[in-house]
Chain A
Amino acid sequence: MSMLSIFNVSGSAASAQSQRLNVVASNLANADTVAGPNGQAYKARQVNFQTELMGQTANDPTSAGVRVSTIAEDQTPGRKVHDPKHPSADAEGYVTYSNVNAVEEMVNMISASRSYQNNLEVMNTAKSLLLKTIQLGQG
């Protein structure tokens, strides 16, 4: 039953995509976070995907799932806004915001949700094919 491992493959991809969506949600939620007393603002995060072979043998390329290998932080400096009246302003009157780029995050979100839907559809198709295979020979 080689089609049963489609659920492992697509399931791992759906899980990875949902993790990506989760990271996007964190980034968007922190888009307007300002630096705390330590001067460090929130840094945008991004997931890195990696292929994970899931076949019975070690080098079977026919069932390749996905896993999140690392979650990297964007090291570009945060946005600085001159606002001396702000409670979090530094000695020169600048407020450091997080370095989240809202446009990039929205694009990332749409891409993740489309990939998630694709994988769900793959699983649905595999399920209906397997159900029909179970009824093989009955009429």
Chain B
Amino acid sequence: MLNRLTDSLDFQGQALQLRSERQRLIASNIANADTPGYIARDMDFAKTLKAATGALPAAGALATSHAGHLGTGGAAGAGGAKVAGELLYATPSQTNLDRNTVDMDRERASFADNAIKYEATLRFINSNVRTSLQAITGQ
């Protein structure tokens, strides 16, 4: 019962972590908008989130407490967010003389978009906590 409450919190926690990683990535791109030769990076958010949360047990799944137990799917091991290996390169829409591929319009849009989604995730967690508290206090 309790892990049903915490599983959805785990998922939102991973999402929050990845959102903050992406925020930092876009901040790096904006910071390097004038650096010659800098190549803009970005991540496929949906894919990375799936990879990060795929290792979490699904709600109601059986736990494996012994080496002989069969797993319920998903990779074994901790589901930590691994980002560095899965970074993509942004395709430049216009070429630049100094080989810099930062598209400032796109980066600004992604930054605002990511900030709003980060706040949305925060609200999901907050309302999740509120719901759990209401259920616990029974009012």
Task: Across the interface, name the chain A residue whose C-beta is closest to B26.
Answer: A122
Q: B33 to chain A: which residues have CB within 8 Å?
A: 115, 118
Q: How far is the CA of A138 from the CA of B119 in the complex (A)?
A: 15
A126 to B122, Cβ gap below 8 A? no
B32 touches A139 (CB 8 A): no
**Given A60-B84, A62-B24, A139-B130, do A118 and B108 touch, yes or no (CB 8 Å)?**
yes
Q: Are B35 and A51 in contact (CB under 8 A)?
A: yes
CB of A129 within 8 A of CB of B27, answer: no
Kindly state the separation between the CA atoms of A3 and B121 in the bound complex, as whole angstroms: 15
Q: Which residues of B contact A138 (CB under 8 A)?
A: 126
Residues of B close to A33: CB separation below 8 A: none
Within 8 A of B (CB), among A85-137: 111-112, 115, 118-119, 122, 125-126, 129, 132-133, 136-137
Q: A118-B104, A122-B27 are in contact. Are A2 and B32 (CB under 8 A)?
A: no
- Tell me which of B15-23, B58-66, B71-79 binds A: B15-23
We find that the number of chain B residues with CB closer than 8 angstroms to chain A is 34
Return the chain A residue nearest B129 by Cβ: A137
Residues of B within 8 A of A51 (CB): 32, 35, 37-38
In chain B between 2 and 35, which residues have their CB closer than 8 angstroms to a CB of chain A?
16-17, 20-21, 23-25, 27-28, 30-35
A–B pairs, 29, beta carbons within 8 Å = A2-B17, A2-B24, A3-B23, A5-B24, A9-B31, A13-B30, A13-B31, A20-B34, A51-B35, A51-B38, A59-B84, A61-B41, A63-B27, A65-B28, A66-B32, A66-B34, A66-B35, A111-B34, A115-B33, A118-B30, A118-B33, A118-B104, A122-B30, A125-B112, A133-B122, A136-B126, A137-B129, A138-B126, A139-B130
A interface with B by C-beta (< 8 Å): 1-3, 5-6, 9-10, 12-13, 17, 20, 48-51, 59-66, 111-112, 115, 118-119, 122, 125-126, 129, 132-133, 136-139
